[in-house]
Structure 1
Amino acid sequence: MGKRSKRIQGFYLTAVILGWAVLLLTAKAPMALAAEKMEEKPYLIKVNRVHNTITIYEKDTKGVYETPVKAMVCSVGKKGTETPLGTFQTQGKYRWKALMGEVWGQYSTRIIGGVLFHSVYYWEYSNPATLAINEYNKLGKAASHGCIRLTVEDAKWIYDHCPTGTTVIIYDDEKSPGPLGKPKARKLASGVRWDPTDPNEKNPYYDFKEPTLAGVRYRSIFWGKDIDLLDGVKATSSYGTDITSDIVIKGEVNPYMAGEYEITYSVTDSLDQTVEKTITVKVKESLEKPVITGVRDRVVKKGTKINRELALDKVKAYCSKVRLNTEDMEVTIDKISAEEYRITYAIAVGQEVKTTEHAVFYIDSEAPVISGLSEIAVPDGQALTRELIIDQICVTDNYSNMENIYIKITIEEPGDGTYYITCIAKDEAGNQTKEAVHLEF
């Protein structure tokens, strides 16, 4: 081979190497550019298929998409046409987009292939008054053919704020819809075929009046009778749907305390319009006075804390055979001396119907006194028994009566004709005395 041939071969080899280098450089450049553009995206979108919930994240101070800023309720693909799992970058946007079955979606953003974010579909192109209401009312449940359906407001938010190339992560998590929870899906009546969140100036929802609360009225009940504050009450949204289940009631009625109670009803519909009404509920005076049971004088051990809990032990209150809540009972504790407290109990079922009882609590620091144990005598022909000993000893106490003193007798017979007798006496307060003797009979 001549020098010229070698030069030509060298030239071609150099050209090939340079060509591959250029190809590699040009191949890497778009990837680097794409990565650079991804870093510039303001948001990350995560879709939880299990809960039909979308969470939007923005970057934290470290530049990581970990700060949740917005949650959206959606409808992902139903069984058989599931929305694909994975990580994707959005590919395009469409103001009105033709969907499957000759229907149309507003504010569509392509995720991959035929899978898009878009509004609930419409029957006519560019006509927001032809909303498929039945499908709208499925938001929050899997219902689509693979796309991710949203309200117009949420679809438009993604359309406006998430540029092409925004990362979308579609995943399953049964435990949690996302850090911001799952927004409540709105339900629409069949009369108006508009999305209430559509910002279109022709949207008739903007002309609707506030919601209504019907049946909210002054109420009067007899003492002790329960009341259903929602009985006969109905709430209707500004666009005609029943939202009675959304009523919030502030205030409570105690049917066991006569008087007047202020109750406030409020309800907010899906257009964030609120109506509020306040009424009075009157509980009539009881015809009977309450009865307090279990109040008694007591003896307690030194060091016992005299408080409400102790005072209410075994104490109950009734009125018209209805047991009252002892939390409503007034308990006043007055210290008379170092060893004596006066307890006053009072409970009312109205402004003028009240019952009061009193008791005295004594602080007992002295143990019972046992006498006569060493003088026990056993008559001929009888055995030494507990009953015989009880009959011959005397147990006294400064507060407790004999019948309220616990007495324990132990008899031991070693077999040599003698007896070991032990007597323990404990008073109501728990003070205890122990005496033991060794006797021969």
Structure 2
Amino acid sequence: MIKLVKRTFYYGKFGIVLGLLFFFYLFHTQKVSAAKDESPYLIKINRVHNTITVYAKDEEGKYENPIKAMACSVGQKGTQTVLGVYKTRAKYRWKLLMGDVWGQYSTRIVGGILFHSVYYYEFGNPGSLAVKEFNKLGSAASHGCVRLTVEDAKWIYDNCPVGTTVIIYDDKKSPGPLGKPETIKIPLSIRWDPTDPSENNPYKDKIPRIYGVKNRTIPWGEEVDLLEGITAKSSVGINITSKIIVEGELNNYKAGSYNVTYSVKDELGRTKEKKATIKVDTPTTTEFEGIHDRVVQVEDEITEEFILDGVKVYCNGLKLDKEVIEITIHQEQEGIYKITYYLSADNEIYAKEYANIFVDNEAPVFEGTANRLLDSGQIPNTAFALNGVSVSDNYTKMKQDDIKVTIQALQDVLKDLTAEDVLKLIIETEESNAIESTGDSNANLSDNRVNNEEQYVKNTENFRDDDINNFNNDNRNDNNIYNIDYLRALIKYLGTGYLVTYEAEDDIGNKEKVSVLFHY
């Protein structure tokens, strides 16, 4: 009886031990014992940038040679990955994680902190990936562990023995010497990590695809967007059109066939390439439009922009970019330039035309403008002022309607003038014989013209420009007596008429202005 009790107790204890061993095997599959040899690598984790950099030993045995960078997900706020320096402790092919989920290729860093793949919902099933968590790689998302793609987790698992040093730090300025790798995004419908090397991975041998590449023929001179209508998708079906690279030369101004290569590389490093042939047609008809002779005021206006203004060129009915037009400028003679317009390519001229540019700095010319005597009480109008007056120009066809006439009563003109202004007016009218001169060149004012003003000018010559300065000079000599009483007499004399101004402007802006007196 006593022996029976002892035997029962023995087998019960043995069963408990077996159960514990089975449980240990189930949850710690393929655990690797600590390695004694020093690791060939050092691993640094930058929490700020969610980036891992692996360093190899240099010739001196120091870990100063960065060889590999990985994007990862460290612990999010509240469950941050701990800072510090640690040595890896163990490895697990499949490891039970928090929340009844599993990670592949796990390596313990310290305590419950591990390197491992993004988690799976089923033990041993790589087709049960948590896709949303996978797409968070590159940002903080875990409960403290360091998540990786299967490819990167397996690299650490395979190449970094237990005992490898891991440094966890923060650096806002730089993710590391190799930068931060581009992260991979996959559709929610994909339940496999596309980097998983498993032979059962349906995306293991997938490559990107390029659509819309085809041979085509374009007109000579047509601007071509080689990426128009071309799209691409990654190995897992994500749009990566922006990553397409086009190689090959195409001269749309030279007839012939050109080979173009389209290539694209996705986040998995997988590439695709397609080729196309683009044929440029031979030009048959080319012509210019808008080329004609023109006039400018000064040579400085003869710029390329001015020469090409309004000019168009067509090839086979297709309007070409103005930049393809070539020009040469040749001075035929002073003030005349010959412009040659070319459309050429590959040393062959397809079209050529000429035009002249004339430099015109001459103002219009009036004929028939002169001082006039008015009948008593007569008030001049525009028709009267234009009677017998004409205008002409060397390049612009002008007629009387192009003349602008302004008629002002002298009282209105003179009331705001200074003595110096009046003297200028006197000089102008003297040159037009508005004031009669005697044989000895002295200006005389009749008694009735000056209205009994007894002022006069004695021993004076005809008015000249220098007299203005003499007028303002306190030391003027006796031969130039222009006193204020004399000016008052002139104003009274001139104030009995009208100042008539004629103005004209040619097509390019040269102006002419003439003023005369209509008086009684």
Q: Which amino acid aligns with 2:518?
A: L
Q: Deviations over 1:358-405 (max 9, x none)?
A: 321112233333333325688999864556545643333332322699
Range with bigger deviation, 93-102 or 183-192: 183-192
Q: Which amino acid aligns with 1:402?
A: M
Indicate if the aligned counterparts of 1:132 and 1:193 stay in contact, CA closer than 8 A: yes
The partner residue of 1:427 within 506, 510, 519 is 506
Q: Tell me how far 1:85 sits from its aligned partner.
A: 6.7
Q: Tell me how far 1:312 sits from its aligned partner.
A: 1.2
Q: Which amino acid aligns with 1:89?
A: G
SS in 2 for 1:401: coil
Indicate if the aligned counterparts of 1:133 and 1:188 stay in contact, CA closer than 8 A: no
SS in 1 for 2:276: strand
SS in 1 for 2:310: coil
Indicate if the aligned counterparts of 1:74 and 1:139 stay in contact, CA closer than 8 A: yes
Larger Rg over CA atoms = 2
SS in 2 for 1:330: strand
- Is 2:278 the counterpart of 1:281? yes
Extract unaligned runs of 5+ from structure 1: 1-40, 59-67
- Is 2:86 the counterpart of 1:88? no
In structure 1, how many angstroms separate the alpha carbons of the residues matched to 2:45 and 2:337? 69
Q: Which amino acid aligns with 1:120?
A: V
Q: Tell me how far 1:307 sits from its aligned partner.
A: 3.0
The partner residue of 1:292 within 251, 276, 289 is 289
SS in 2 for 1:266: strand
Indicate if the aligned counterparts of 2:297 and 2:508 stay in contact, CA closer than 8 A: yes
Indicate if the aligned counterparts of 1:301 and 1:363 stay in contact, CA closer than 8 A: yes
SS in 2 for 1:327: helix
Q: Which amino acid aligns with 2:328?
A: T
Aligned to 1:334: 330
- Is 2:169 the counterpart of 1:168? yes
Q: How does 1:43-62 map to 2 (within 5 A)?
A: 45-48=45-48, 53-54=50-51
SS in 1 for 2:370: helix
Q: How does 1:25-424 map to 2 (within 5 A)?
A: 45-48=45-48, 53-54=50-51, 72-75=70-73, 82=77, 88-91=83-86, 93=88, 94-96=90-92, 98-100=96-98, 101-106=100-105, 108=107, 110=109, 118-122=116-120, 132=129, 134=131, 135-140=133-138, 144-145=142-143, 147-152=145-150, 164=165, 166-169=167-170, 183-187=181-185, 193=192, 196=195, 208=205, 213=210, 216-221=213-218, 241=237, 245=241, 246-250=243-247, 260-284=257-281, 289-293=286-290, 295-317=291-313, 323-347=319-343, 354-375=350-371, 384-386=380-382, 389=385, 392-402=388-398, 408-415=404-411, 416-424=495-503
Q: Structure 1 residues 247, 166: closer, same or farther in 2, change over 3 A?
A: same
Q: Which amino acid aligns with 2:246?
A: I
Q: TM-score, normalised by structure 2?
A: 0.54
Q: Tell me how far 1:299 sits from its aligned partner.
A: 1.1
Range with bigger deviation, 274-283 or 87-96: 87-96
In structure 2, how many angstroms separate the alpha carbons of the residues matched to 1:133 and 1:357? 71
In structure 1, how many angstroms separate the alpha carbons of the residues matched to 2:258 and 2:375? 76
In structure 2, how many angstroms separate the alpha carbons of the residues matched to 1:90 and 1:195? 32
Q: Which amino acid aligns with 1:119?
A: S
Q: Deviations over 1:292-321 (max 9, x none)?
A: 13x221111224152321101233345687
Indicate if the aligned counterparts of 2:369 and 2:389 stay in contact, CA closer than 8 A: yes
Q: Structure 1 residues 204, 44: closer, same or farther in 2, change over 3 A?
A: closer
SS in 2 for 1:309: helix
Aligned to 1:14: none
In structure 1, how many angstroms separate the alpha carbons of the residues matched to 2:315 and 2:144? 64
Indicate if the aligned counterparts of 1:131 and 1:193 stay in contact, CA closer than 8 A: yes
Q: Tell me how far 1:343 sits from its aligned partner.
A: 1.8
Indicate if the aligned counterparts of 2:42 and 2:165 stay in contact, CA closer than 8 A: no
In structure 2, how many angstroms separate the alpha carbons of the residues matched to 1:105 and 1:260? 53
Indicate if the aligned counterparts of 2:220 and 2:315 stay in contact, CA closer than 8 A: no
Higher share in strand: 1
SS in 1 for 2:396: coil
Aligned to 2:515: 436
In structure 1, how many angstroms separate the alpha carbons of the residues matched to 2:319 and 2:118? 56
SS in 2 for 1:166: strand
Q: Tell me how far 1:351 sits from its aligned partner.
A: 11
Q: Tell me how far 1:186 sits from its aligned partner.
A: 2.4
Q: Tell me how far 1:337 sits from its aligned partner.
A: 2.4
Indicate if the aligned counterparts of 1:285 and 1:349 stay in contact, CA closer than 8 A: no
In structure 2, how many angstroms separate the alpha carbons of the residues matched to 1:307 and 1:290? 22
In structure 2, how many angstroms separate the alpha carbons of the residues matched to 1:404 and 1:323? 43
